Structure 1
Amino acid sequence: MASASRSKATVLVVEDDALTRELLVQLLHAGGYNVIAEPAGNRALLILCHKGEEIDWLVSKVNLPGLVCGWILADAFHEHHPDRPALLLSTLDPADQPSANAVFIPPAAPMRILEVLLALRRPESAQVVEFPTTKAA
């Protein structure tokens, strides 16, 4: 999905927790992606506005501090890539958040991001794997 002038796809990661953000950066680098990481939605929105065509995938936490949340970032991402879903990290049940333009991933499953990106890059070899959900008693 990267342009001809770039050899690797670029992922914008937006996560306010420093440890989680660094883990995602390391995982995505190991998976062969270029990564731009931001701790806040407002800075990520500026990047999407100025370099949206260079961002191949968005991975963002839904609930971010400040005025810019993951939903706003997903909308900005879709202005440049309307055919690609944003990957949103959320603890809410995906069944409660139906969206054709987003894939919901539990924050506690960072390896799932690599699996989803691989499936999105090669849809012919993708298998749908249900993520187990647990309900609090």
Structure 2
Amino acid sequence: MVFTDAELEYLAGQRLGRLATVAPDGTPQNSPVAFRHNAATDTIDIHGYNLGATRKFRNVAATREVSLVVDDIASVNPWRVRGVEIRGEAAAVTGEDPPAGHLSPEVIRIRPRRVISWGIDAGVEGMQARTISP
């Protein structure tokens, strides 16, 4: 299993993340995206409206390198931030059944190679990072 129970619970409670991709010429791009954990493949799937026509989809098809950050501020007094960063290799998949009728049949499917989390495990201080074996 790639994600801890605390990470899965946190991710399920969030609506948006920021997906960083790299264009073939090395130019970075960062885009807000909706996402979901795909339990069948233990990946993070990103769907969208006409996703196949987007720069992020073309970047993933070309370079496959991505990072997705999902974070929020749980409290300002006391200050408490929390989040998960997922670094990995992504595939630009076509022909998928979208989870909702308004979404296109393309998906960006992230296979995590490194997961970093902070502030989501009660009683655990600092960042927790681990490398995921293929």
After TM superposition, the score normalised by the length of structure 1 is 0.25
Structure exhibiting the larger radius of gyration computed from Cα positions: 2
After TM superposition, the score normalised by the length of structure 2 is 0.25
Higher relative contact order (CA 8 A, sep 6+): 2
